[in-house]
Amino acid sequence: NAGVTQTPKFQVLKTGQSMTLQCAQDMNHEYMSWYRQDPGMGLRLIHYSVGAGITDQGEVPNGYNVSRSTTEDFPLRLLSAAPSQTSVYFCASTPGAYNEQFFGPGTRLTVL
């Protein structure tokens, strides 16, 4: 099993550009999440999904969109990138018990 995979590993955008961060898992987990990690602030939940076709907002959803058409994939879209979205983004999945998270390797995004 590959676990949780994320692409790309690194990305540089200009302000106003859009892009999609890809996330896939092969563990058949129902729950998937997107987090951003900033220095001194830990991990903050952006959006999450409890199954295909079901998504909901987390703590910091503004500027991001998600969709979940399959159990395996959970892409995160930045509609119009802003410098405040410079961060490291982690996708995670969980089988549900106690919300134990299995994280991907992350995407480091810089918005100029």
Partner 1 sequence: TQLLEQSPQFLSIQEGENLTVYCNSSSVFSSLQWYRQEPGEGPVLLVTVVTGGEVKKLKRLTFQFGDARKDSSLHITAAQPGDTGLYLCAGDRMDSSYKLIFGSGTRLLVRP
List contacts with partner 1 (CB under 8 A): 4, 31, 35, 40-45, 48, 50, 58-59, 90, 92, 98-106
Contact 34, 48 (CB under 8 A): yes
Min dist. Cβ of residue 77 to partner 1 (A): 20
Min dist. Cβ of residue 91 to partner 1 (A): 8
Q: Dihedrals φ, ψ of 45, to 5°?
A: -75, 130
Contact 25, 93 (CB under 8 A): yes
Closer CB to partner 1, 17 or 43, in the complex = 43
